[in-house]
Amino acid sequence: MFQITRQADYGLLLMTALASHFPQGYISLRDLAEERRLPYRFLSKIILPLRKSGLVDAQEGMSGGYRLARHPEEIHIRTILEALGEDLMLVRCGSGDKACQSFCQCSARGFWHELQVQINEILNHYTLAQLVQKSVPAFKSNVLLNGF
């Protein structure tokens, strides 16, 4: 079920750190950890799935380190979270072997579906470049504005 895990949080912080150095070249993970005051050991685990998914390039040697494999404007938040193995489903409802037993008569099903659609749209819309530029507007829920 979708929740912001420590891995997702630090993964986004790591990717924004790499984006802030784009396209200057490679930077060591240790330097990034010190610069952003993030735990090096945890970052060294998080970087692996980001490399495997093709979001991050690595180079060994004295001038080596890590860099984004694509421009920050081409990397959406959803792509990062999926690369980190995050479960983006709010509720299971009728999906897979963990389906809810009350699926057919659930009065909240439509609400959960609409909320999932909105979350997916937000994750697909915003890019890493927008996070770095801090241009993601404060989220204003229509539900709150319209008085659910």
Cα–Cα distance measured from residue 81 to residue 5, given in angstroms and rounded to the nearest whole number: 10
Per-residue pLDDT of the chain (148 residues; tens, 9 = 90+): 667 889 999 999 999 999 998 988 899 999 999 999 999 999 999 999 999 999 999 999 888 999 999 999 999 999 999 999 888 887 776 565 555 666 567 787 788 888 888 988 999 999 999 988 875 555 544 444 444 3
What pTM was estimated for this model as a whole? 0.80
Q: Which domains does the chain possess?
A: 6-136 (1.10.10.10)
- Please name the helix (run of DSSP H) or strand (run of DSSP E) that holds residue 59, with its range, or none: strand 56-59
